[in-house]
Chain A
Amino acid sequence: MRAVITVVGKDKIGIIASVTTMLTEKNINILDISQTILQDFFTMVMIVDTSKSTMKFEEIREALKYQGQKLDLSIRIQHEDIFNSMHTI
């Protein structure tokens, strides 16, 4: 399943490293990354493929949420179709 991960929070060193390391451990493939800083706020959008991961989607979601809390960031994962359906005809 292709999903979109969004990371939003205060910028600090090592955010990308910690998130991508975690995805590697869970065997989640990153297909695309886009990242920017908006008024000191770090925002990153990633498109990932979760089909090779042995974890259930719910577990991935919880793990990302937990990781986010540790780093004081908000990390979400959502099925990409919600974005596709809303913004494309």
Chain B
Amino acid sequence: MINYNNIMETISMIEREKLDIRTITMGISLLDCIREDSRTCNQKIYDKITKKAEHLVKTGNDIEMEYGIPIINKRISITPMALIAQATSETNYVKFAETLDKAAKEVGVNFIGGYSALVQKGYTKGDEILIKSIPEALNSTERVCSSVNVGNTKSGINMNAVREMGQVIVDTAKLTADRDSIGCAKLVVFANAVEDNPFMAGAFHGVGEPDCVINVGVSGPGVVKVALESCKGKPFDMVADIIKKTSFKITRVGQLVATEASRRLDVPFGIVDLSLAPTPEIGDSVARILEEMGLGACGAPGTTAALALLNDAVKKGGIMASSHVGGLSGAFVPVSEDEGMIEAVKSGALTLEKLEAMTCVCSVGLDMIAIPGDTPAETIAAMIADEAAIGVINNKTTAVRIIPVIGKGVGEEVFFGGLLGSAPIMKVNSFSSKLFIERGGRIPAPVHSMKN
């Protein structure tokens, strides 16, 4: 039987409210590519990725065509490269990044994530080499994304790694200064990183994952915004209910696409990441959802509470819609990728400090924020430490993806293009954090991590 209204609702969500599948990400383990000889290791990596992901893009396109739902990105995540490369005697891993880039181009994916190291407690030889090579790797490749996990609730925060990452971000910005420091947009510093995140730039394929897996990230801030337009002035109980119902519907589509992609590619289904991921397009903004709840602008007092409600309701609605929910799951607040946030920053409503507060209740952290190019590395490291502390204490993932735009200052704007959008340069607190960051060492794990 035709349910006319249901069908037209779905069509309207896709056509007008920009419902889409943000990404189908294939996770590929490279553990079986570990070789002592660097050349053989690189060959193994290239062969495995291009074989496993050979049909990924075509399958994504076929599903998009048959179901009439846009699938924006097809991507690949791999085992953290520091684990794979350290068996070789190489002292620089840029060659490995170039192999990943080549493989990504061959299979037609727009990003490959996993040029990564997990150093929440300390460095291995491979971690050290990989982290040092990140600026060069991001400069000499186009599609490779890098991430470093510097803290965990179970292990505390590695402040040596925090200090080094501040410098790595500055070096990456300098090396890619001719392209508005875009290298930093492909670099994420995590606390409590998850092993099955399908979203870039922070995706990597954890060692507890199967050989190959399909993870899907859904999106649809526009759908939530439009749904909320029907309950202007109504109490929050109703707001939460509407978000849950909408999130359920969005996630069901994600589950369908994930199951279908998994069946066609003959690769096990991993998780659906039920995140509200905005884009710079009008009508695809998380900030506008918060404003729809009654805020004059994103960043006004009340924003953190609004985001907390949104994040929680999205999860509650999505959980029942999918057999396995994972990844980051929640609401994203990437400034340059959200039309409403860009506007809020320009108008002075949204500041870095408010964004930090928002990251306590959303699913990620300080994301895609452009700051002055002359921000000291220690200040950036201290911002990472703050975010990591929020994540470690609250048992949640936090991340820092900030871009010190070389040659630009507060009030100017930077254009990355495409999904990465554009961003006004935000003001950073100018008081020094130098002596704080110089200490190094480890911040111990919080008492509530001792659960055994």
Which chain B residues lie closer than 8 Å to A34 at the CB level?
2, 4
Asked if B435 is at the interface of the complex by the 8 Å CB criterion, the answer is no
Q: Quick check: A83 and B7 within 8 Å, CB to CB?
A: yes
Q: Quick check: A61 and B11 within 8 Å, CB to CB?
A: no
Q: Quick check: A32 and B253 within 8 Å, CB to CB?
A: no
Task: Report the bound CA distance from A4 to B253 in whole Å.
Answer: 16
Q: Chain B: interface secondary structure? A: helix
Task: Report the bound CA distance from A34 to B216 in whole Å.
Answer: 34
Selected interface stretch from B66-74, B153-161, B169-177, B283-291: B66-74
Which chain B residues lie closer than 8 Å to A78 at the CB level?
66-69
Which chain B residues lie closer than 8 Å to A33 at the CB level?
2
Q: Quick check: A58 and B10 within 8 Å, CB to CB?
A: no
Asked if B447 is at the interface of the complex by the 8 Å CB criterion, the answer is no
**Selected A-B contacts with CB under 8 Å, 17 pairs:** A4-B7, A32-B1, A45-B4, A45-B8, A47-B2, A57-B65, A76-B68, A79-B68, A82-B68, A83-B3, A85-B252, A85-B253, A86-B6, A86-B10, A86-B252, A87-B9, A87-B10
> With A45-B2, A57-B66 in contact, is A82–B256 under 8 Å at CB?
yes
Q: Mark B231-260, 1 if CB is under 8 A from A, else 0.
A: 000000000000000000100110110000
Q: Mark B56-69, 1 if CB is under 8 A from A, else 0.
A: 00000000011111
Q: Write the nearest CB–CB distance from A16 to chain B, whole angstroms.
A: 15
**Size band of the B side of the interface?**
20 to 34
Which chain A residues lie closer than 8 Å to B9 at the CB level?
87
Which chain A residues lie closer than 8 Å to B4 at the CB level?
34, 36, 45
Q: Write the nearest CB–CB distance from B143 to chain A, whole angstroms.
A: 28
Which chain A residues lie closer than 8 Å to B255 at the CB level?
85
Task: Report the bound CA distance from A33 to B1 in whole Å.
Answer: 9
Which chain B residues lie closer than 8 Å to A86 at the CB level?
6, 10, 249, 252-253
Task: Report the bound CA distance from A13 to B256 in whole Å.
Answer: 38
Q: Quick check: A76 and B11 within 8 Å, CB to CB?
A: yes
Asked if A81 is at the interface of the complex by the 8 Å CB criterion, the answer is yes
Q: Write the nearest CB–CB distance from A9 to chain B, whole angstroms.
A: 13
Which chain B residues lie closer than 8 Å to A47 at the CB level?
2
Residue in B closest to A57 when the chains form the complex, CB atoms: B66
> With A76-B68, A78-B68, A79-B67 in contact, is A87–B6 under 8 Å at CB?
yes
Which chain B residues lie closer than 8 Å to A43 at the CB level?
8
